[in-house]
Amino acid sequence: MSSLLVQSIVALVIVCFIGYRIVVVEREKRAKRRKIERKETLDAGLLRAVSEKDLQEIARLAGEGADLAHQDPETGETSLEAAVRGGNAEVLALLLEKGAGVFSDSDYQRAYACLPKRGKNAEADPLMKLLLPLPAVRASIEYDKRATREEKTERINRQLLRACQKGDTEKAAAALAKGADVDVVLDDSALPSLTPLMLAVERGSLELASLLLERGAKVNKKSAGETAMSIAVAGGHEAIVSLLAAKGARAPGPEERLKLHIEKGQLDRVRTLLDAGANPNFRYPDGTTPLHVAASWNKPEIAALLLDRGARTEEKNSLGATTLASIANRGSREMMSLLLARGSSVEFTPSAPRTYSLGTQNNEVVIENPNSFAVIAEVKSDSTTKAVLVGPASRNSLSVTAGGYDVFFEYANQLGAVYQGDRIQLDGARITIRITQVSNGNYGIRRVR
């Protein structure tokens, strides 16, 4: 047999085999399509039979292989959900019987969620009686009960907090009788992050504070940096201060009260304490003095009063910083100007310009001061104001968010006069400003006040 004939026979065999495979594959595809179409017909028919409550048709389709857990392509509803929504216990019973081992816990729980009645009398519902033996449904019932209890507790706690906020002793007592938590603090923007006792004290209600303490309120509990005592002192509620002290809260001394009133910006109460002999140079545990506190909280009127009453500007805190040094990198221009005017020395560690890795966004303003006097630099936008003190022949820096800023300067040898430079725009960059005391000179600095 010639080689050419052999090659022809081999080629013919290959062609025949390929043709045969094509026929077989097409036949398999058609069979698969018919199977899918039949299944889709069965599944759609099952959902239709459930909606029509046709028990015989449901049984027939289930016997022929319809997927009992099939979801309607438009609504996503299963046959179990459709049966529950339809309110037919016989249909549901048949599906549960035919679908044992087919339905998942999720299918059962979704069906339970469709029950129209899930309250106290839900177990009398024929549909519930069919679903109740299922572990997944019992788990959902327990979850609902727990969620209901939690919702009820939170509602009662809110009632207590609102009553205390308004100083309503009667409504507060009613909420406590229902089981409200006497020390509750809710994470809710609609309510202050304070305990009921703190709210009652803030309101100045001695009667309500007494009730809460009788019901076990923790007298020394802290929240939002406050205690009931700190609020009572700041509010000037002396009767409540006495009540809290009698219940175990430590009554603050005059200097501690002084600090509380400074933080709250209560100038008249600070003056009253100083008149009564409070020490303006008292040292708190962290080494700060009342003047440090006033500067830190940016209370220039109170700082001026403290200075008038003998507060010393050069007292140092536990970090070795004077009042001016403690705010040199984060204070206000007004406070820095006041302290410089009252003789504060310019000795502090400036905030050195930072080093950033490539690609890091930063908006830093570096202030260089070649002069022989200190300069206060302030950057200001509609939403942000920051200031730094720049020592003689020195530099300092501050970081802000992206945006446009007006820049102001106040010179230590001309306090009270305010100069303004050109507006700057920052968008992930660093800008360096070199200060000279020349109007219409470097950087367009001009006097504005």
Q: Are residues 300 and 370 in the same domain?
A: no
Three-state DSSP state, 139: helix
Per-residue pLDDT for 190 more than 80?
Answer: no
Let me know if residue 275 belongs to a domain: yes
* Nearest-angstrom CA–CA distance, 186 and 93: 45
Q: Which two tokens stand for residue 192?
A: 């202050």
Q: Which of 220, 211, 223 is nearest to 184 (CA)?
A: 223
- Report the alpha-carbon angle 369-314-391, nearest 5: 5
In a domain, 345, yes or no: no
Mean predicted lDDT score pLDDT of the chain = 84
Averaged over 430-446, what is the pLDDT? 67
311 and 164 share a domain? Answer: yes
Residue 412 DSSP code? G
Contacts of 207 (CB under 8 A, 6+ apart): 169
346 has pLDDT over 90? no
Domain harbouring 210, CATH code:
1.25.40.20
Q: 173 in a domain, yes or no?
A: yes
**Is 429's pLDDT higher than 60?**
yes
Has residue 351 been placed in a domain? Answer: no
| SS (HEC) of 17-83 | HHHHHHHHHHHHHHHHHHHHHHHHHHHHHHHHHHHHCCHHHHHHHHHCCCCCCCCCCCCCCCHHHHH
Query: Side chain identity at 205, as an amino acid letter?
Result: S
Q: Indicate if 209 and 285 belong to the same structural domain.
A: yes
Residue 103 burial by Cβ neighbours in a 10 Å radius (0-12, 13-18, 19+): buried
Provide the token pair at 239. 């009767």
Looking at per-residue pLDDT, the higher value among 442 and 408 belongs to: 408
What whole-number distance in Å separates Cα of residue 158 and Cα of residue 379? 43
Does residue 286 belong to any structural domain of this protein?
yes
Quick one: 167 and 52 in the same domain? no
Lowest mean pLDDT among 54-58, 206-210, 300-304: 54-58
The mean pLDDT value for 368-385 works out to 90
Q: Are residues 180 and 316 in the same domain?
A: yes
- What's the whole-number mean pLDDT along residues 268-286? 94
pLDDT band of 251, cuts 50, 70, 90: confident
227 vs 253: CA distance, rounded Å:
15
Instruction: Report the pLDDT value the prediction gives residue 357, as an integer from 0 to 100.
Output: 39
Residues 102, 37: one domain? yes
**CATH code at position 379:** 2.60.40.2890
Q: Are residues 301 and 400 in the same domain?
A: no
Model confidence band, residue 102 (pLDDT cutoffs 50, 70, 90): confident
- Is residue 365 located within the same domain as residue 416? yes
Residue 364 pairs in a beta bridge with 399, 430
Alpha helices in 215-312 (DSSP H): 228-235, 238-246, 254-263, 267-275, 290-296, 300-308
Question: What is the structure's pLDDT at 269?
Answer: 92
Residues 315 and 171 in one domain: yes
Rounded to whole angstroms, how far apart are CA atoms 65 and 54?
17
Q: Is the pLDDT of residue 439 over 60?
A: no
Q: How far from 148 is each of 122, 143, 151, 188, CA to CA, in Å?
A: 15, 8, 5, 19
Residue 318 falls within a domain, yes or no? yes
Q: Does some domain include residue 409?
A: yes
Q: Is the pLDDT of residue 199 over 90?
A: yes
Tens-place pLDDT, residues 121-132 = 566 688 888 888
Both 275 and 389 in one domain: the answer is no
Question: In this predicted model, what pLDDT tens digit does every residue of 73-89 receive, in sequence order?
Answer: 888 888 888 888 888 88
Average pLDDT (220-240) is: 91
If pLDDT is split at 50, 70 and 90, which confidence band does 117 have?
A: low
The stretch 24-49 carries a mean pLDDT of 65
Q: Model confidence over 287-340: pLDDT tens digits?
A: 999 999 999 999 999 999 999 999 999 999 998 899 999 998 888 999 999 999
- What is the number of structural domains in the chain? 3
Reported as a single tens digit per residue, the pLDDT across 303-313 is 999 999 999 99
Q: Quickly count: other Cβ atoms within 10 Å of residue 146's Cβ.
A: 10
Does the pLDDT value for residue 66 go beyond 70?
yes
What domain range includes position 47?
11-133
Whether the model clears a pTM of 0.85, i.e. scores above it, the answer is no
d(CA 433, CA 424) in angstroms, rounded, equals 10
Same domain, 213 and 276: yes
Residue 265 confidence class, pLDDT cut points 50, 70, 90: very high
Domain co-membership, 371 together with 433: yes
Kindly state whether residue 97 falls inside one of the protein's structural domains.
yes
